[in-house]
Structure 1
Amino acid sequence: MTIENPLLSPPPSASSPAFGLPAFGALKAEHYRPAFEAGMVENLAEIARIAENPSPPDFENTIAALERSGRLLARVGGVFWNLSATDSTPELQEIEREMSGALARHENEILLNAALFARVDALHARRDALALTAEQARVLELTHKRFLRAGAKLDETAKRRMAEISERLATLTTSFAQNVLADEADYLLLLEESDLDGLSEDFRASAAQVAQERGAPGKYGVTLARSSVEIFLQSSTRRDLRETAFRAWASRGENGGATDNRALIAEILRLREERARLNGFANFAAYKLDDTMAKTPKAVRELLDRVWAPALAAAKAERDDLQALAERDGANVAIDAADWRHYAERVRKERYDLDQAEMRPYFRLDRMIAAAFHVAERLFGLSFVEVEGLDLYHPSVRAFDVRDATGEHVALFLGDYFARPSKRGGAWMSEFRGQENLDERIRPIVVNVLNFSRAPDGAPTLLSLDDARTLFHEFGHALHGMLSDVTYPLVAGTSVARDFVELPSQLYEHWLLEPEILRAYARHAETGAPMPEELLERIQKSRHFNQGFASVEFCASAYVDLDLHESAIDESFDALRFERESLARISMPEEIVMRHRTPHFTHVFAGDGYSAGYYSYLWAETLDADAYEAFLEAGDPFAPDIAERLRRHIYAAGGTRDPAEAYVAFRGRMPNVDALLRQRGFAR
């Protein structure tokens, strides 16, 4: 008996009432392996037809044909990898481990196909004579580079080794991510009523619901979701409990046993270094950065050094303020990493009369979602109409039909906002379907995934200011995917250089704190009253508060990432010792911990995306600080002409041009670091 597989059925029409969504309700774990296998078989048949085409290579029969290939496999992967990150199960994790290696092997078969590369290489050699459009020329260039970086020009022995490395890395990085998820999902700090001093009523309610869901009714649960543990660290007056929670948070991935990541890190680093050397680079950082705006590790270090010195000075002054407050309290403590957030919140309260408990009622989740939508309407003419009754992958996910100013459908946007044990930690944007205009106009299905602590049923979910900023950040990524308007999938949406991809997201954060937006959307969760003007002013005045700490914890992670990928890794490598030595070289304050410590640094080790590239957020901040100043110079945060340039050259353009060219097309020039230093309060 043949079991019908919804993943292998013809894809639903994007214009259907269901927007072409996958049939989530019909999916079972056993559907994925056969669907992946069918997708790979079909894709290899497509590749064979391209590689063995007797006609001379041209753009249409080679590059465009490659762009059309693999659609079934992409569709299956788009469903599986999204759901394995948001609703993981032991069955899905087993498939994830198996398929990560199989897909790496499959990709190698394509990228190391000599006949296929010969066609691509021949086209690239005569690219100037092909009369290509600018986008086609870019797609040809990027396709050729992709083959080269995979080892297409190496001898057969080196090609085989490159394939082995790619397959092994896919398995290792999948295991790394699953280990971090396991450490996060397994942890629960259970509290009694007597342990709740300092915690707000809404946090207590959320913590009670967490405990109830974990089988401990009548108690209160703190998880390792950032929106849970950070608020606990800020608010709790119990130093012993803060230390317990912080220790668990900081030691994910290094607790021994099956989920310990230290051995994986060493092997990942050795294999990455070997891959780089096979490609002729001195180390993996040089290999990885060759394909970015920064280009070299030297350029990255120069940027980090420009920020590190003023950040370190500011952090030391902040530490002294925290210590002085503790001493005024009569607390016989030396401020350490588990104390910082708590005393920083108290200094914020003392200096600006601000605390999280006062601000959170004004940052209600549904109001912040509406605020993010409103900014997109003002800047880009978009509207968001919630769609009920769709078959979505989780009951808490919301769906919105995104339309332009003429009412035409632009994208389907999914919002998955709440933490759950099956969901990977952090926040991200992804796609179930990407945009392209190759054979027809295909509009994307974009999802934002966050990990907010959900309020009990009937109560509003309240966010911290940092949570609201994260929501705007990820929605900026979503807009980058939704507004994409290019022909070829290779350059659609967020398919840009890693140190450029954070520009649309970080830039979008600026509008959260625009007074006009706060006045309209920051309304009290219970009374509906707008945020008082004097509170709004205090928030504006506190923009630079604790920026030394924030900059130091970020830059430390970026330095360690770069050090790891510039170093030769031998059999004696110890990840924790390396981390300590790397931090000692930059005089890391003992009271601050890296934002992402090495054993749970998923940006770097749960895949290849930000490896040797965590600096990208800072690089993009140089761009976003300067880009927002264009609106400030115009005297209007929604200046129509600037917004139109922003849409055309940044949000809609994908990777159709070199990122530096794209930025200059928007701004008229490249930025320097001064705008970033001003944004962080380190310069005027």
Structure 2
Amino acid sequence: MSILTQYFNTRHNTAPFSQIKIEDYFPAFQEGITQAKAEIDAIVDNPETPTFENTILTLEYSGDILDRISSIFFNLNSAETNDEMQKIAQEVSPLLSDFGNDITLNAALFSKVKAVYDQKESLNLTPEQTTLLDKKYKSFSRNGANLAEDKKEQLREIDKELSKLSLQFGENVLAETNAFELHLTSESDLAGLPEGTIEAARSLAKSQEKEGWIFTLDHPSYIPFLTYADNRELRKKMAIAFGAKAFQGNEFDNQENVLKIAKLRFERANLLGYKTHAHFVLEERMAESPEKVFTFLNDLLAKAKPAAQKEFAELTAFAKELDGIEELEKWDGSYYSEKLKQQLFNLDDEKLKPYFQLEKVLNGAFIVAEKLYGLTFTEVFDIDKYHEEVTTYEVTDAENKLVSIFYADFFPRKGKRNGAWMTSFKSQYVKDDVNERPHISNVCNFTKPTETKPSLLTFNEVTTLFHEFGHGLHGMLANTTYPSLSGTSVFWDFVELPSQIMENWCYEPEALALFANHYETGEIIPIEYVQKIKESASFQEGLATLRQLSFGLLDMAWHGQDPTNITDLKAFETEQFADTKLYPEVKENAMSTAFSHIFQGGYSSGYYSYKWAEVLDADAFEYFQEKGIFNTEVASKFKENVLSKGGTEHPMLLYKRFRGQEPKPEALLKRAGLL
């Protein structure tokens, strides 16, 4: 028996990372699948009449060992991968896809689930039980259970192919990110760059035993380079490399993968009786239909576009006046925006960074959670971790009861994908009267401490930390009966509410006073900086909104129509960006080939949900502002109705219970300065 398929005899049943060997995974997956199949067979072979208990509940708790192995393996494949892990991922994904289909296409099992579903009106179920029954029934009906046998086979093949393609897509993006580096040896090329960025580039070069400085496409290196480097040619080189990821006609090219994924998703939706992939996806979202999403995005576009065009004209005039730039290019945007922002607000990241030491910001997030929800975070050293840079915490409530285990993993490294995310190693649920508490993780890519400085965050990184921590709280405070409805298992256009609302505290003087201390002097961040942070929050909000909308519209273009006739990815994209385009076209670049959110993550037909959730979060935070940002009454309403409820009821019901009304977009438009 593999260590991965046994009960973990560890503190709080946490994953024993240091004892797991790479060669343990594949046999553990095989064993987990065998075990889960036996549990399914037991439901099917049960001679008794199907009931909620013997069918729906037994199904809900089946395969828990397999789920645990999967969460450990795939979390590490994102945060701490290598060639062997990626090879196992390629081998195991089709097996898991097959197994998933073995369940959803199992006619005998479906007939039992359907028998319970057909009598749901007379079963006297709680709201949570009703949701579980609906969800279980739909997991079959939406995945082909009502199809004829030959169509079921077709569906299986599509799913297997899709799971391999999305893995390949992600591996190509990672390989292309790792393949590029800008190696500089002349000090004059560093003009404009912050000291911390230069120092990080120097230590990267040292680690490769090279002279000079090395810059990469990882965000902590790439973003400061584009924002501060005075050398326009080098900014251009970096920007083109970044935008050309997996669009270079080499072995890591994703153009074919994107076209195949879009076409297979469309084919799958048609097979299941839906017009497009977006129709299929949005049936299980707050937005409900592609028409509603297009209306939502286009309404916002109408309000944001005039502001964006005005801001772009100002930026263009500013660059011309400052440096005689005739035409603003994509590699000029961040650079001149930063310069203009400094001129208008006399505020830049370099001024702010000394006040945002990573450890203090994290502690600030902990204090905010304590004030709002009565949580205490205590670092512990006897919980196993998958990398030495990870820190582990026990989270307890006011009665000192365990709420969650929290893992924090904050620095870039070779085996870790770009970006920031929250995930879980174990869900919360209640079984046999025991409330099993969750194991939650936040993974980010912030600048590492150097020989002379701790890790100092840009303000943007501060909001990223709070954002992911908000997702974390959604997982940690989960308090539902069933694992599949727990924590962040909610409609995708609702999942960003708990994360985005947390960002609001980063702009409040009362909250900043808790953690924004100068790392050398301990001095609290000056109030004029705080006012400038607030004032500058809506700086170029038109441009930022236009950019988000362009991504949402591109996503809907791939998934909200028939993609079978698309042959030229670049031409298709150019057409989709026509309404939101401000900068000249860069022929070497494409967006879709590295658009991991929609081709590797779970955001296909869902990218709009960032903006959708902003409407929710602005409306929700307005309630906090009315009553006080640390008002425990509002906080406890938010905790009870949103954070702890997971996906047990329709999100609009939960939201209205918290807020007393449906969300209105005015709060967002006001906050963004677009009214």
TM-score range, shorter chain: over 0.9
3-state SS, counterpart of residue 67 of structure 2: helix
Task: Identify the residue that residue 502 of structure 1 maps to in structure 2.
Answer: 496
Count of residues paired in the alignment? 672
Match of 1:27 in 2: 20
SS at the partner of 2:405? strand
Q: Which residue of 2 aligns with 1:576?
A: 570
Q: Which position in structure 2 is the counterpart of 1:140?
A: 133
SS of the residue aligned with 1:401?
strand
Q: 1:416 aligns with which of 409, 412, 417?
A: 409
TM-score, structure 1 as length reference: 0.96
The one of 303, 316, 319 equivalent to 2:312 is: 319
Is the CA contact 2:547–2:580 (under 8 Å) kept in the aligned structure 1?
no
Match of 2:425 in 1: 432
- Aligned equivalent of 1:541: 535
Give the match's secondary structure for 1:437. Answer: strand
State the distance in 2 between where 1:643 and 1:147 align.
37
TM superposition shift of 1:309: 2.2
Kept in 2, the 8 Å contact 1:322–1:347? The answer is: yes
Cα distance between partner residues in 1 of 2:230 and 2:626 = 44
Q: Pick closer, same or farther for the CA change 1:489–1:642 going to 2, 3 Å.
A: same
One-letter amino acid matched to 2:370:
E
Is the 8 Å Cα contact of residues 247 and 254 (structure 2) preserved in structure 1? yes
- Determine helix, strand or coil for the equivalent of 2:393: strand
Contact (CA 8 Å) 1:209, 1:455: kept in 2 or not?
no
* Cα 1:511–1:572 shift into 2, 3 Å: closer
1:154-553, aligned counterparts within 5 Å?
Answer: 154-192=147-185, 193-213=187-207, 215-439=208-432, 440-457=434-451, 459-553=453-547
Verify the 8 A CA contact 1:265 1:605 in the aligned structure 2.
yes
Post-superposition offset of 1:157: 1.1
Q: Deviations over 1:383-415 (max 9, x none)?
A: 100012432100100001100011111100000
Structure 2 counterpart of 1:625, one-letter code: A
- Residue 469 of structure 1 contacts residue 512 of structure 1 at CA under 8 Å; is this kept in 2? yes
Query: 2-side partners of 1:209 and 1:149: how far apart?
Result: 51
Question: Partner letter of residue 65 of structure 1?
Answer: T
Q: 1:77-100: CA deviations, max 9, x gaps?
A: 111001111111110001111111
What does residue range 639-678 of structure 1 map to in structure 2 within 5 Å?
639-678=631-670
- 1:216 Cα offset (Å): 4.0
The CA distance in 1 between the partners of 2:580 and 2:447, in whole Å, is: 35
Q: Is the 8 A contact 1:434 1:492 kept in 2?
A: yes
Q: Which amino acid aligns with 2:204?
A: V
Among 4, 7, 22, the alignment partner of 2:4 is 7
Counterpart of 1:564? 558
| Contact 2:259–2:566 (8 Å) recurs in 1 | no
Query: What is residue 77 of structure 2 aligned with on the other side?
Result: 84
Write the deviation string for residues 282-308 of structure 1: whole angstroms up to 9, x where unpaired: 111111111100001111111111211
**What is the rounded CA distance, in whole Å, between the counterparts of 1:596 and 1:469 in structure 2?**
28
Partners in 2 of 1:471 and 1:674 — Cα distance? Answer: 26
Verify the 8 A CA contact 1:506 1:624 in the aligned structure 2.
Answer: yes
Give the 3-state SS of the residue equivalent to 2:549 in structure 1: helix
Offset of residue 591 of structure 1: 5.3
Q: Deviations over 1:28-55 (max 9, x none)?
A: 2111110000000000000000012110
With structure 2 as the length reference, what TM-score do the two structures score?
0.97
Paired letter, 1:675: A
- Whether 1:681 and 2:666 are equivalent positions in the alignment is no
Which amino acid counterpart does residue 436 of structure 1 have in structure 2? Y
Once the two structures are TM-superposed, the CA of residue 527 in structure 1 deviates from its matched residue by: 1.6
**Do 1:319 and 1:335's aligned partners in 2 also have CA atoms closer than 8 Å?**
no
SS state of the match for residue 410, structure 2? strand
- Determine the C-alpha separation between the residues in 2 that align with 1:273 and 1:79: 31
Deviation at 1:672, TM superposition (A): 2.1
Q: 1:458 to 1:327 in 2, by over 3 A?
A: closer
Contact 2:117 2:137 in 1 (8 A): yes
Partner of 2:96: 103
Q: What is the SS of the residue equivalent to 1:399?
A: strand
Which among 621, 627, 632 is matched to residue 625 of structure 2? Answer: 632
Letter in structure 2 aligned against 1:606:
Q
| Displacement of 1:10 | 2.5
Measured at CA, do residues 592 and 577 of structure 1 come closer, stay the same or move farther in structure 2, by a change above 3 Å? closer
Q: Distance in 2 between matches of 1:124 and 1:533?
A: 59
CA deviation profile, 1:423-460 (whole Å, cap 9, x unmatched): 01111111111110122221111000101121214621
Task: Return 5+ residue gaps in structure 1 as ranges.
Answer: none
- What residue in structure 1 maps to residue 66 of structure 2? 73
Shift of 1:217: 3.9
Stretch of structure 1 that moved more, 421-430 or 589-598: 589-598
In structure 2, what residue type is equivalent to 1:205?
Answer: E
CA distance in 2, matches of 1:285, 1:200: 43
Q: Distance in 2 between matches of 1:517 and 1:221?
A: 37
SS of the residue 1:132 aligns to: coil
Tell me the amino acid that sits aligned with residue 104 of structure 1: S
Q: Partners of 2:630 and 2:519 in 1: how far apart?
A: 27
Distance across 2 between alignment mates of 1:346 and 1:180: 31
Partners of 2:8 and 2:16 within 8 A in 1: no
Residue in 2 that maps onto 1:50: 43
Bigger shift: residues 444-453 or 21-30: 21-30
- Determine the C-alpha separation between the residues in 1 that align with 2:206 and 2:301: 44
Q: CA offset at residue 520 of structure 1?
A: 2.6
Counterpart residue type for residue 323 of structure 1: T
| Matches of 2:466 and 2:389, distance apart in 1 | 19
Cα distance in 2 for partners of 1:391, 1:640 equals: 34
* Alpha carbons 1:472, 1:508 under 8 Å: kept: yes
Deviates more, 1:543-552 or 1:344-353: 543-552
AA matched with 1:22: A
Determine whether 1:601 maps to 2:595: yes
Q: State whether residues 360 and 465 of structure 1, in contact with CA within 8 Å, keep that contact through their aligned partners in structure 2.
A: yes
Give unmatched runs, 5+ long, in structure 2.
Answer: none
Indicate the RMSD between aligned Cα atoms, in angstroms: 1.6
Alpha-carbon distance between aligned partners in 2 of 1:236 and 1:168, rounded to the nearest angstrom:
43
What is the Cα deviation at residue 469 of structure 1? 0.6
Aligned counterpart in structure 1 of residue 612 of structure 2, from 611, 615, 619? 619
Secondary structure of 1:384's partner?
A: strand
Residues 330 and 589 (structure 1 numbering): CA distance in 2 closer, same or farther, change over 3 Å? closer
Q: Is the 8 A contact 1:553 1:592 kept in 2?
A: no
**Amino acid corresponding to residue 512 of structure 2 in structure 1:** L
Q: How many angstroms apart in 2 are the aligned matches of 1:600 and 1:231? A: 20
Q: Tell me if the contact between 1:515 and 1:536 (Cα under 8 Å) persists in the aligned partners.
A: yes
User: In structure 2, what is the Cα distance between the partners aligned to 1:664 and 1:593?
Assistant: 45
The answer on whether the counterparts of 1:378 and 1:638 sit within 8 Å (CA) in structure 2 is: yes
The sequence identity of aligned pairs, in percent, is 38
